[in-house]
Amino acid sequence: MINQYNTMPLTPEEQRERSIKMFGTADIEQWFKDSLAHMMPLPDNQSVKMMVISILSDVQEEIAMGLHERARQNINIVKWIIMSRLT
C-alpha cells in the first residue's frame, strides 16, 4: 500500500498501525472471515448484507453512547465490506 502523503510504500508496521486506526483491527481480512464464520450462511451475499446492517445498527448505538471513534471505525469497516465484497 502506498502512503497517502508520499509515494513510498508503507512498511508492514505502518500498515498494521493504519489498519488499527481505520478499522480497530490489525487484519481486516481475517476479522471479516471470522465474523462471517459466526453468521448463518445465506445465499447471494445475504450474509454479508446482514453483517453490514448489523454493523450500521452498532454505529447508531455507538453514536448515541458518544463512542465516536468506534463508530468511525465501524463505518470504515462497512465501506471496506461494500468495496471488497459487494461490488
Domain ranges of the chain: 12-85
Per-residue confidence at 6, pLDDT binned at 50, 70, 90? low
Give the sign of the dihedral formed by CA 57, CA 62, CA 64, CA 65: positive
Per-residue confidence at 39, pLDDT binned at 50, 70, 90? confident
Interacting residues of 2 by C-beta distance below 8 A, sequence separation 6+:
8, 9, 10
Per-residue confidence at 42, pLDDT binned at 50, 70, 90? confident
- Output 16 or 38, whichever has higher pLDDT: 16
DSSP 9: B
User: What is the pTM (predicted TM-score) of this model?
Assistant: 0.83
Cβ atoms of residues 56 and 78 within 8 Å = yes
CA distance 61 to 47: 21
3-state DSSP helix/strand/coil % of the chain, to nearest 5: 70, 0, 30
Question: In the block, which residue shows the cell 509515494?
Answer: 7
